Amino acid sequence: MPDVTGLKLVEKARRLRPDLPVILCSGRREQIDPESATRLGIGRYLEKPIDLSLLRDVVESLLV
């Protein structure tokens, strides 16, 4: 996303839908780590590269 970071996108989405479950996928641990993501209310933090079966399980768990 050239004009917005994942964290900015989460902030914008939360303004529209505070109850929206969020999965943040990042390859940049220096910008955000799992603990920081949790403090920001992000449901799950996954590091790239992402295993598709793990992603499926995480999506299912957040939608239940």
pLDDT digits (tens, 9 = 90+) for 35-61: 888 888 898 999 999 999 999 999 999
**pTM, full prediction:** 0.77
Instruction: Say if 1 falls within a structural domain.
Output: no
Give me the domain span that covers residue 38. Answer: 6-63
The total number of structural domains in the chain stands at 1
Instruction: Say if 34 falls within a structural domain.
Output: yes
**HEC per residue, 1-64:** CCCCCHHHHHHHHHHHCCCCCCEEEECCCCCCCHHHHHHCCCCEEEECCCCHHHHHHHHHHHHC
Helix (H) or strand (E) holding 52: helix 52-63
Instruction: Say if 47 falls within a structural domain.
Output: yes
Residue with tokens 């390859």: 27
Helix (H) or strand (E) holding 30: none
pLDDT digits (tens, 9 = 90+) for 7-19: 888 889 889 999 9
